[in-house]
Amino acid sequence: MNPQPFVQNTPRVLIINPNTNRHVTDSIQTLIHHLAPAGVVTEVTSPAQGPTAIETDRHKLEATQHVLALIAQRKEEGFDGYIMACFDDIAIAQARALTQAPVISLAEAGIRYAAASGGLFTVITTFDEAVPTIEALSTTYGLSERCRVVATGIGVADTAAQTERAEARLHEAIQEAIRLHSAAIVLGSGAFAGRAKALQQRYGVAISDGFAEALKYTLNAPYTQKG
């Protein structure tokens, strides 16, 4: 995606979609355009090569390599923060070792947002294989006892395309989370980019996809991160 015009001393944030699905990247670009505060320059991009969906350990390894190569190539441009637009820990630790700017994933931003509700919360992800990874991340953040993770069983591409089956599964998962008294819901995939606001208005429960929270973090982190 084309970056916004550079302005001297203006905060600049690079948002990286680690998969190469152009539809997902475009959806993220549209969302970030509406979320970014005035005076903040954002750029949404993805590696030139890599998997179109990250659904296996092999996909994750390949995507990590390409994301790190992208950051290494562009870190001298002086970004003030980086957002990994996926619900995983892909390249997070390594990226923090590459740059002193804040780095955060949608997973950390979204889960910490939901935890602030003070009660139980549900993360709704896409494919079933993502569930153990997200559960492990919630444990890392010390929030596993309050975090319920479920999958729609639909892949990233169909979720992003909002197919009839994907939509039906998403709404079923939201309704079940509400029935189980979740105080907040997190949409656990970059494929859900831009959906949170409308779904929150429809269901009357706090719903986040992690993007707004990740952006706030990168712009307000009180210190730089190191490895």
Mean pLDDT (whole number) for 40-60:
94
Helix crossing, 211-220 with 106-115: angle to 10°? Answer: 100
Model confidence at 104: pLDDT above 50: yes
Model confidence at 105: pLDDT above 60: yes
Give the number of other Cβ atoms within 10 Å of residue 49's Cβ: 12
Model confidence at 115: pLDDT above 80: yes
Give the number of other Cβ atoms within 10 Å of residue 69's Cβ: 15
Helices (H) and strands (E) in the chain, counts: 9, 8
pLDDT of residue 8: 55
Lowest-pLDDT choice from 7-11, 22-26, 149-153: 7-11
> What dihedral angle (degrees, nearest 10) is formed by the CA atoms of 194, 199, 201, 205?
-120
The candidate with the shortest Cα–Cα distance to 151, out of 186, 116, 201, 113, is 186
CA 140 remoteness from chain centre = 17
Q: What is the pLDDT of residues 150-196, one digit of tens each?
A: 999 999 999 999 999 999 999 999 999 999 999 999 999 999 999 99
Residue 100's pLDDT band, with cuts at 50, 70 and 90, is confident
Q: By CB neighbour count within 10 A (0-12 exposed, 13-18 middle, 19+ buried), where does 62 fall?
A: middle
Residue 144's pLDDT band, with cuts at 50, 70 and 90, is very high
pLDDT of residue 9: 72
**Which residue type does 51 have?**
P
CA distance 193 to 77: 26
Percent of the chain, pLDDT > 90?
89
pTM for this model (two decimals): 0.88
CA angle 182, 187, 188 (to 5 degrees): 110
CB-based contacts of 192-197 (< 8 A; 24+ apart in sequence) = 192/124, 192/159, 193/24, 193/27, 193/28, 193/30, 193/31, 193/85, 193/160, 194/27, 194/28, 194/30, 194/31
Query: Position of tokens 């979204």?
Result: 110
Q: Which two tokens stand for residue 169?
A: 């599964």
Tell me the pLDDT of the chain averaged across its residues.
92
Residue 223's pLDDT band, with cuts at 50, 70 and 90, is very low
CA distance 155 to 185: 19
